[in-house]
Structure 1
């Protein structure tokens, strides 16, 4: 067993970049449907089939659009690296934009560069350090409320923890009784977006109001009302805003190179996007992590030993993050097996190339963290939960670019550091206090906007050395 206190391994050697030779994938139905129904029925199985039966570059059709699916990490990273020069982001529909507005996540060109320069400082490592104590406090409060033998819904509890973390770091408070209601609104919004991404809703015009779209508008209105109230509260007390250190205050105080602030609408879009990304993504990652640990007693025992050794009964701090090597490897392996964001699209511009081959303008180029992370070429025994594959002295190091749960290139998720620190510190805090025992059965993922468990995960709480923690 290797030591959890080793130095960070050097970056692995990149894989050689093969030439791109696209092959034609499954024929599907006549246009405009193409492979839409096969993809919508089971996206993960469909994309895995493209990889296994057809190869690293496969042409297919999603509705009326020509698509190209990539499986080789070098082609994927080449595409992600070009997402401001030779590839555009894909407009993934009306529902998604109801949540994000025109935030940095979907902006383009000069507008994207301006917004990124204003938003990025709010989630830099120095700011993440300042928020670490909040992450531990929220996790500790949740665990302290659980009782021996109690049965809890893991996803619901993880969502409450991350919701409180993001609301306290974003808005400076947890909004009290509103927290749970706003969490449900955010969950409903995410499920609606995921449903549209998988089906014909992706191609429906904005004026069509299906029942799910009407529910989405109600959920977004609830979120917008609270964000608008908080923004107006800060704007009416600018001196107080300058003294605050939450993300909303920093967004309101940010100025671009010409001294221009974000407008209230732009602040709303960035705040809600940070809220959605910071809440749902991390709670999903933690849910899968706890599911995997419950089925891997040796890995969980090694985690508990590391926490006892490094923390000696005190709560974790951000300074412990680098020392908790096994904890970080567990999170990394869980993100490999169940990446919350499981699909990335981009649209080829005129002159786009991949692997030295031209990609016709307008082609939707897709890659999937799910299929890359479970490719046996890069990950031996890919379906197994093996955190030791991330050891510095592992016999087969993971190739560069074969793991990308937060994307890559210039549009890498701005909150990647925040999410990884939060997941590790919350996991450490919960594991200090208790074990969450879940049924041993494997759980299938549901492909919405994020990769969620298909069924509720109900755990039995087993307290663990509570006297040593306090």
Structure 2
């Protein structure tokens, strides 16, 4: 909505009680066992606005797109952050995703210019070159672990665009540390760890502290090296990676980000830019392998638009079917699956006051798979997004990057990167993925629960 204004809803909010919970734990056991199934049950059995409890916390789950749109648009001023676990705090620090009020506005103003469309345009050569290096390494008939390959690819892209180099031998250690962090963050969000005091050191928390130490040592080394180098704090033309831009950023009072603030923003951008894109690409190859028609249409578009040359940013808008494949994959398997926030005094939804302290939740997973907006919701149909498609998708029935003022600042980067990596690799190879049906697991992101292994098939030249 323009300027972040909240529209007057046409759907009134009428919350109904959800499933009865246990004393003190509430619905935490059911939520922790399978949060996606639990939230789908709230939508299907109770309705668009359902009251439930996560431990002692009173919660409200939203399923209607108009309520979701109003909620996301008003999060900046009507809601506070829900602390989603000690583990997340160790990784994100006080970055823009965990800041509020004036601190959030200052940091967003400093960080957002680093990922604006003009800057994303500069990074696309790095994206394509990284994918070409993978394609040159692959051999027809080879079997590869899809997720591992996509993790290595997107890690290379984010390290080169964020830090300006591949970090050499340290890349693997950093990747392993980030994998530990993703696991522990997801486990805390779903279980009793969400309520444990900060001083409790479980085995998972001790593992996370070691992982964070690895991450912090490397990021600190890079920040110090960049500050000492000419490009770290010089003029606009010196140093074009994200770290250099963070170090050059200054607010309206001339205050730069501190070393700790740069660390927090760099690690957050790294985590979001690396894990979400590799996860999205993993699911895309899986879905294309199961849909020969969609893959054939992708082949035709890549041949027609690119004619055998690598894609550029100028091709992005012309690759309409490629973008639709990405959009549909993000609908079926959104990397992030839930957005919570805590109502402040005066919060209103659907014309009804929301009691202060209520945790309001909406889920990309359940909204994206709502049969009211997406007939046959589990089917992979990129044609849903054709310009002349008969079914109109309501605003905020699809929101993989959130929405409103606190929506993901890297959304443009992620969408362009995913499409260009897909186009670059898809020109050269088909990936025939097994197993044919892959379950998912829930952490901070929605990942395949089993290894997805692909046989590489060289595409014949046309």
Q: Are the counterparts in 1 of residues 435 and 453 from structure 2 also a CA contact under 8 Å?
A: no
Q: 1:86 aligns with which of 72, 78, 87?
A: 78
> How do 1:219-258 residues align onto structure 2 when only pairs under 5 Å count?
219-239=211-231, 241-242=233-234, 243-258=238-253
- Cα distance in 2, alignment partners of residues 274 and 309 from structure 1: 34
Q: Which residue is equivalent to 2:3?
A: none
Deviations 1:142-179 (A, max 9, x none): 12111111111101110000000000000000111221
Aligned residues: 453
- Cα distance in 2, alignment partners of residues 135 and 407 from structure 1: 24
Deviations 1:43-88 (A, max 9, x none): 1110000000000000000011000000001101111111111111
Residue 373 (structure 1) aligned with residue 365 (structure 2): no
- Cα distance in 1, alignment partners of residues 115 and 232 from structure 2: 21
Residue 422 (structure 1) aligned with residue 417 (structure 2): yes
Q: Are the counterparts in 1 of residues 231 and 239 from structure 2 also a CA contact under 8 Å?
A: no
> How do 1:291-370 residues align onto structure 2 when only pairs under 5 Å count?
291-370=286-365
Q: Which residue is equivalent to 1:435?
A: 430
Q: Which residue is equivalent to 2:450?
A: 455
Residue 99 (structure 1) aligned with residue 94 (structure 2): no
Deviations 1:281-327 (A, max 9, x none): 00000001110000000000100110001000000000000000000
Structure 1 SS opposite 2:60? strand
- Cα distance in 2, alignment partners of residues 95 and 379 from structure 1: 35
Q: 1:159 aligns with which of 148, 151, 156?
A: 151
Q: Are the counterparts in 2 of residues 151 and 460 from structure 1 also a CA contact under 8 Å?
A: yes
- Cα distance in 1, alignment partners of residues 136 and 197 from structure 2: 48
- Cα distance in 2, alignment partners of residues 396 and 15 from structure 1: 24
Q: 1:189 aligns with which of 162, 181, 185?
A: 181
Residue 56 (structure 1) aligned with residue 51 (structure 2): no
Q: 1:401 aligns with which of 375, 396, 400?
A: 396
Q: 2:170 aligns with which of 170, 178, 183?
A: 178
RMSD: 1.2
Question: Structure 1: any 5+ residue segments left out of the alignment?
Answer: 1-13
Q: TM-score, normalised by structure 1?
A: 0.95
Deviations 1:114-141 (A, max 9, x none): 0000000000000000000111111111
Cα distance, 1:240 vs. partner? Answer: 5.6
Q: Are the counterparts in 1 of residues 140 and 457 from structure 2 also a CA contact under 8 Å?
A: yes
- Cα distance in 1, alignment partners of residues 69 and 427 from structure 2: 38
- Cα distance in 2, alignment partners of residues 135 and 181 from structure 1: 22
Cα distance, 1:356 vs. partner? Answer: 0.5
CA gap 1:386/1:16 in 2 versus in 1, 3 angstroms = farther
- Cα distance in 1, alignment partners of residues 229 and 432 from structure 2: 48
Q: Which residue is equivalent to 2:18?
A: 25
Q: Are the counterparts in 1 of residues 231 and 244 from structure 2 also a CA contact under 8 Å?
A: no
- Cα distance in 2, alignment partners of residues 115 and 132 from structure 1: 25
- Cα distance in 2, alignment partners of residues 56 and 154 from structure 1: 37
Structure 1 SS opposite 2:80? strand
- Cα distance in 2, alignment partners of residues 408 and 431 from structure 1: 30
Q: TM-score, normalised by structure 2?
A: 0.96
Q: Which residue is equivalent to 1:288?
A: 283
Cα distance, 1:241 vs. partner? Answer: 4.8
Structure 1 SS opposite 2:438? coil
- Cα distance in 2, alignment partners of residues 285 and 212 from structure 1: 26
Question: Structure 2: any 5+ residue segments left out of the alignment?
Answer: 1-6
Q: Are the counterparts in 1 of residues 435 and 452 from structure 2 also a CA contact under 8 Å?
A: no
